[in-house]
Amino acid sequence: MDKKQIHKRKDDHMRINAEENVQSTISSGLEHFYFDHQTLPELDLVQIDTTMTIFKKKQNAPIFISSMVGGTKETSELNFLFARTAQAFGIGMGIGSLRIGLQEPQRMRYFALRSVAPDILLMANIGAIQLNNAVSPDDCQKLVEQIGADGLVLHLNPLQEALQPEGDTNFSGLLQKIEKLCHSLEVPVIVKEVGWGISEKAARQLQGTGVAAIDVAGAGGTSWAEVEKHRLSNQSSKAIAEAFRDWGISTAQSIQNVKRNARGIQVFASGGLNNGVDVAKCLALGADYCGFAGKFFRAAIHSEELLQEAVQEVIQGLKICMFAAGAADIDALQKITLRQR
């Protein structure tokens, strides 16, 4: 794919997410779980502790801004806005794919987020498929160092690539290359889906590779089949993409799949999370960290103030949920057994 195509695709993705209804028709599955309400929590709400540590970095809350955009002037403005907000709240952040930086090194300036967010947990990102396109562990290490990242996200998106006219669809032999990268890179590697979830088989495949965390990115939020549909002009191709709007494994099920089949690997939960109660449910199901994309993106495209309000809303909702469920801190919350409706 040439440089102009890459730039246009990035800008198309941002525009479509801002203007179109691209919600999956599958729910996150979190609505099927609930906490026992504690009428006598024996806690003081103001003392509820949401702090935790990921990759040796203390977080003020177990939430992060998921990888979304970057690489063009337009998308970089959003990234800097996200980074300032993450710094202000003491939470983590992932960035969009750095692939463009390998082809056009001058564009790495659009990812120089440490200038506004020196302390956050910052996660670089590149498509795992690029390991089949001559991107080496040394290339990945260079990208991580250039932006001062604390970890590298490898996103897996075979269905999305299959729906793109310009997509890369040779996913054969990737597992071995992921393992090699994990043992070569100087920072933790996080394997991430993009919105269709992680199966039990995939979790087992990643066990023992050296992957530090799996971001389940389950069905329930943005359907990238719908996003790609809006990029297509051919009606037959649009119909194919439309058929996958209800594809995927829910976020709740994906968390459980990874927890049961990839022991020792941290679980990042994302995909259709909307509020602090969703975060609490994910943590009680076995997640360690919870990512938001759509909710924060929709706030950010209006203003930085609205984004900060959205983050504060999630954190305060989490605290109140913990208070009402009788959990003084994140460790106590993760020990609660949820009930099912």
Taking the C-alpha atoms of residue 193 and residue 215, their distance in angstroms, rounded to an integer, is 6
The CA angle 238-240-246, to the nearest 5 degrees, is 105
Bridge partners of 215?
192, 268
Tokens of 17: 């997410």
d(CA 33, CA 297): 26
DSSP codes of every residue in 254-308: HHHHHHHHSTTSEEEE-SS--SHHHHHHHHHHT-SEEEESHHHHHHHTT-HHHHH
Number of independent structural domains in the chain: 1
Alpha-carbon span 328 to 335, nearest angstrom: 11
Residue with structure tokens 């403005």? 77
The H or E element that residue 58 is part of is strand 57-59
2 in helix, strand or coil? coil
The rounded distance, in Å, linking the Cα atoms of 283 and 54 is 14
Q: Tell me the C-alpha to C-alpha distance, in Å, between residue 208 and each of 75, 128, 136, 141, 305.
A: 36, 17, 21, 21, 43
pLDDT of residue 5: 62
Q: What is the pLDDT along the chain (341 residues), one digit of tens a residue?
A: 555 666 677 677 878 888 888 889 999 999 999 999 999 999 999 999 999 999 999 999 999 999 988 778 778 899 999 999 999 999 999 999 999 899 899 999 999 999 999 999 999 999 999 999 999 999 999 999 999 999 999 999 999 999 998 899 999 999 999 999 999 999 999 999 999 999 999 999 999 999 999 999 999 999 988 999 999 989 999 999 999 999 999 999 999 999 999 999 999 999 999 999 999 999 999 999 999 999 999 999 999 999 999 999 999 999 999 999 999 999 999 999 999 99
Cβ atoms within 10 Å of 10's Cβ, excluding its own: 20
Here the tokens at position 308 are 């900060």
Torsions phi, psi for 94 (to 5 deg): -105, 155
Which whole-number Å values give the CA distances from 186 to 93, 179, 183, 228, in the listed order? Answer: 19, 13, 8, 34
CB proximity list for 43: less than 8 A, separation 6 or greater: 323, 326, 328
In this structure, are residues 197 and 27 in contact, taking their beta carbons and an 8 Å threshold? no
Give the CATH number of the domain where residue 54 resides: 3.20.20.70
Give the CA count within 13 Å in the CB-facing half-sphere of 151: 25
- Of 123, 64, 132, 66, give the one whose Cα is nearest residue 98: 123
Tell me which residue range forms the domain holding 158.
3-340
Q: Are strands 63-65 and 92-94 parallel, antiparallel or unpaired?
A: parallel
* pLDDT recorded at residue 7: 62
Q: Are 276 and 320 in contact (CB under 8 A)?
A: yes
> Cα–Cα distances in Å, from 146 out to 76, 113, 178?
16, 11, 21
Longest dimension (CA), the chain: 62
What is the reported pLDDT for 321?
A: 98
Q: Is 131 helix (H, G, I), strand (E, B) or coil?
A: helix
- Classify strands 339-340 and 33-34 as parallel, antiparallel or unpaired: antiparallel
Token code pair at residue 319: 């605290």
| 153, containing H or E segment | strand 151-156
Please give the pLDDT value at position 20: 87
